[in-house]
Structure formats: structure tokens, C-alpha cells
Structure 1
Amino acid sequence: MALYLLIFLVTLLVVGGSIAMLMLARTPRYRTEPQHLLRLFERVLNGQASESEWHTVVGYPIRHDAYLEGVRRSAQRIMEEHGRSLRSQQGGSLLSRTGREELTALRDHLAARLALEEGRREF
């Protein structure tokens, strides 16, 4: 009888602890920041990013910042209009020349806005 009670209490403790941990744990969330987009844009312009990396970052909606969502949608439009997935698989650039120029302008605009925001935080 004592062995039965011991096994029951240990099982109850393990199951109860597992349920408590699951109830207290939060769902992990990915939050795209301006630095993530800038890093990706640099990698694409240098010919180092893959199409899957592009879709992983740009394909995920940004709900916490309307401006970043606009940048993400612009980047998505650039890929739709100027993307070259076959060339990138063979070691070429992910975007055409026009696409790279548009992405450079988008990157510069995002970097300038980020620098302006950081300058405001210092004061």
C-alpha cells in the first residue's frame, strides 16, 4: 500500500508540474525590428542572401509598427516585380539591377529614419 501511495504521489507531482509549466509558459513571438530588415537588405545587395531567408523575414507581417509594415510591403513588391529566383539558385543576385536600385533606396530611407529616431532618443 505504501508503494502504491508513493507511485501515485510521484506521478501526481510530475503531471501537476508539467501542467503548471505549460500554463505559465508563453508562446514565443518573433518581432521584426528595423535592424533585421537592414541586415537582410545588405545581404541581398551583396548577393549573400537566399530566397528562403528573404521570405522568412519579409514574408512575416509586422503588426507592431505601421512604418515597418510599409517597408516590408515595399520590399515584397520589389521582389515580386524584380525577383530572379532561378539566377539566385545558380549563384547570381536575388534581384535584377532595377530591383537592387529600388532596394538600395528603400534601405537608405530606412537607415535614415532609424538614425533620426536614435538621434531623438538621445535628447
Structure 2
Amino acid sequence: MTLFLLIFVVSMVVIGGTITMMMLSRTPRYRTEPQHLLRLFDRVLSGEASANEWHTVVGYPVRHDEYLESVRRSAMLIMDEHGRLSQAAAGGSLLSRAGREELTMLRDHLAAHMALKAGQREF
């Protein structure tokens, strides 16, 4: 009988501890930052990014920054208009030449915006 009680108490402590930890922990959240988009854009322009990587970063809505959300939506439009997913699967580029030019302009605009915000923080 004592063995049963010992096993029961240990089981309840383990189960209770697990439930307590699960209730106190938060759900992990992914927060897209400008650096993530710049890194992805650079990888796409150099032909190193996969379609999965593109959809993982660009397919996730940005709720904390309206400007980044507009950049993300512009990138989605570029992919919709100029995307070449079938060629990318065979080792080609994700975007056509016109798409890469548009993405370069979007990337430069985002980099300039980041530099401007960094310059404003210094003052």
C-alpha cells in the first residue's frame, strides 16, 4: 500500500508540475523585423533563397509596423506578377528579370527607410 501511495504522489507531482509549467509559459511569437526582409531580399536577388523561405517570411503578416506590412504586401505582389516557382524548383531564380529589378528597388527603399530611422534615433 505504501508503494502505491508513493507512486501516486510522485505521479501527481509530475503531472501537476507539467500542467503548471504549460499554463505559465507563453505561446512563442514570430516578429518580422526589417533585417529579416532585407536578408531575404538579398538572398532572392543572389538566387540563394527557396520558395519555402520566401513564403515563410513574406507570407506571415506584420501587425506591429504598418510600413513593414506595406513592404511585405509589395513583395507579395512582385512574386504574384513575376514569380517563377517552377524554375526556382529546378535551381533557377524565384523572380524574372523585371521582378528582380522591382525587388531591388523595394529593397533599396526599405534600406533607406531603415537608415533614416536609425539617423533619427541618434539625435
* TM-score class, shorter: over 0.9
Ranges of 4+ aligned residues in structure 1 off by more than 2 Å: none
SS, match of residue 48 in structure 1: coil
- The superposition leaves residues 60-110 of structure 1 with CA deviations (integer Å, 9 ceiling, x where unpaired) of 111111110000000000000001112212222111111111000000000
Aligned partners of 2:11, 2:86: CA distance in 1, in Å?
56
Aligned partners of 2:39, 2:84: CA distance in 1, in Å?
20
- With the length of structure 1 as denominator, give the TM-score of the two structures: 0.96
Aligned partners of 2:29, 2:35: CA distance in 1, in Å?
17
The answer for the alignment partner of 1:38 in structure 2 is 38
The answer for the alignment partner of 2:68 in structure 1 is 68
Aligned partners of 1:112, 1:95: CA distance in 2, in Å?
23
Code of the residue aligned with 1:29 in structure 2: it is R
The answer for the alignment partner of 1:95 in structure 2 is 95
**Which of 88-97 and 33-42 deviates more?**
88-97
- The superposition leaves residues 6-38 of structure 1 with CA deviations (integer Å, 9 ceiling, x where unpaired) of 112111101110110000111011100000000
Aligned partners of 1:102, 1:8: CA distance in 2, in Å?
65
Q: Could you list the runs of 5+ residues in structure 1 that have no partner in the other structure?
A: none
Count of residue pairs brought into register by the alignment: 123
The answer for the alignment partner of 1:8 in structure 2 is 8
Q: Identity percentage over the alignment?
A: 72
- With the length of structure 2 as denominator, give the TM-score of the two structures: 0.96
Root mean square deviation of aligned Cα: 0.9
The answer for the alignment partner of 1:79 in structure 2 is 79
Code of the residue aligned with 1:97 in structure 2: it is R
